[in-house]
């Protein structure tokens, strides 16, 4: 485990425990099958990044009440619901190193459990009694489904542009992390300045996280990643490392890459060849640098807050976005 991750986990240990408790308590009144399936996705080693951000952002804005963890799980539910529907769409075999829910149960169960978690997230949202929070949660949901539909429409499209890619990751990842941070400030009844700063922090962090995720698909191995390497490509999803490399490649390189990309049943060797080309064509480096820029923006957004332990954790989380291995 890398050092930064260790440090962060050490400092948020109690918060994470509180979040686990809130998740378990919220699910427990529900009948068996729903709980079982929801638990499969909810308790299989997720990072709890989103609820953790809500809790930390609320604290950064001076919140000292008891509802931060209760409300924070909205964002884990939304995340889990998306994963359930996503894995089914991508026909993914592994999720977090375990078989994806739709291959343990069936597609129908995965769809319905996703629906249930979505509905639950919105119910918890209404419990906040804040119209603003509810509006944010429903906008996130709408954005995420639109992002997924756009991604699906573009599947297998070798001409996907960088701006189309940015639009997809904004919808499918950044708005959720942004919402988790923004709602943290709202739970704390923070002012507009703080709300806007944490909204910026979350948005930029979300973009950086997704870019790092997309990089890992080319640079990690499957035992660490908990899912198949090259999975994005096999699903026909073009991400920034490839998009950028296809643009800068000469025509010979481009046609070599396209051949591998189009043959979705590429061998390990072919995949390694492709990764080498992503390196020589600069796609990996470009993505890393852009992600770094977003991390810097996320950190800059926190400048409105005085130094504190919580602020430092949030800064560390931003740095961790790029240094993580899975």
Given the rule CB under 8 A, which residues bind its own copies? 30-31, 33-34, 85, 88-89, 107-109, 111-116, 118-120, 122-123, 125-126, 129, 131, 134-135, 138-139, 141-142, 144-146, 148-150, 152-153
d(CA 28, CA 26): 6
Could you say which DSSP state residue 67 is in? -
Strand, helix or coil at 45? coil
Q: How far is the CB of 276 from its own copies (least distance, A)?
A: 32
Nearer to its own copies, 102 or 299 (CB): 102
Q: How far is the CB of 140 from its own copies (least distance, A)?
A: 8
Nearer to its own copies, 9 or 33 (CB): 33
Q: What DSSP line would sit under 219-273, residue for residue?
A: HS-HHHHSS-TTHHHHTT---HHHHHHHHHS-HHHHHHHHHHHH-TT--HHHHHH
Nearer to its own copies, 60 or 118 (CB): 118
Nearer to its own copies, 43 or 116 (CB): 116
Nearer to its own copies, 4 or 89 (CB): 89
d(CA 146, CA 237): 16
Which helix (H) or strand (E) segment is 37 a member of?
helix 32-42
Nearer to its own copies, 100 or 215 (CB): 100
Which two tokens mark 90? 């991508």
Q: How far is the CB of 83 from its own copies (least distance, A)?
A: 13
Q: How far is the CB of 261 from its own copies (least distance, A)?
A: 20
Q: How far is the CB of 195 from its own copies (least distance, A)?
A: 18
Contact present, 57 and 308 (Cβ < 8 Å): no
Q: Angle at the Cα of 90 (from 84 to 95), degrees rounded to 5?
A: 55
Q: How far is the CB of 109 from its own copies (least distance, A)?
A: 6
Contact present, 137 and 115 (Cβ < 8 Å): no
């Amino acid at each position: 485990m890398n050092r930064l991750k260790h440090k962060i986990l050490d400092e948020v240990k109690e918060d994470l425990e509180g979040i686990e408790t809130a998740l378990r308590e919220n699910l427990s009144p529900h009948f068996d099958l729903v709980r079982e399936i929801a638990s499969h996705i909810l308790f299989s080693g997720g990072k709890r990044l989103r609820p953790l951000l809500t809790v930390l952002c609320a604290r950064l804005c001076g919140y000292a009440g008891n509802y931060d963890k209760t409300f924070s799980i909205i964002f884990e539910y939304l995340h889990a619901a998306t994963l359930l529907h996503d894995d089914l769409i991508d026909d993914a075999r592994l999720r977090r190193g375990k078989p994806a829910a739709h291959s343990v149960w069936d597609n129908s169960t995965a769809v319905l459990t996703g629906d249930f978690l979505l509905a639950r997230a919105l119910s918890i949202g209404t419990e906040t009694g804040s119209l603003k929070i509810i509006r944010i949660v429903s906008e996130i949901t709408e954005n995420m489904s639109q992002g997924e539909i756009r991604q699906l429409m573009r599947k297998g499209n070798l001409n996907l542009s960088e701006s189309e890619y940015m639009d997809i990751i904004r919808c499918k990842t950044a708005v959720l992390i942004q919402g988790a941070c923004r709602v943290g400030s709202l739970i704390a009844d923070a002012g507009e300045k703080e709300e806007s700063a944490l909204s910026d922090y979350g948005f930029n962090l979300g973009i950086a996280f997704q870019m790092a995720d997309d990089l890992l698909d080319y640079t990690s191995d499957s035992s660490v990643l908990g899912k198949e390497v090259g999975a994005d490509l096999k699903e026909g999803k073009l991400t920034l490392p490839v998009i950028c490399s296809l643009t800068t490649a000469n025509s010979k390189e481009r046609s070599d890459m396209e051949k591998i990309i189009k043959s979705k049943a590429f061998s390990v060797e072919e995949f390694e060849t492709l990764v080498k080309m992503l390196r020589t064509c600069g796609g990996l480096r470009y993505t890393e640098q852009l992600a770094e820029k977003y991390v810097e923006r996320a950190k800059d957004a926190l400048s409105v807050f005085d130094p504190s332990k919580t602020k430092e954790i949030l800064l560390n989380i931003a740095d961790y976005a790029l240094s993580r291995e899975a």
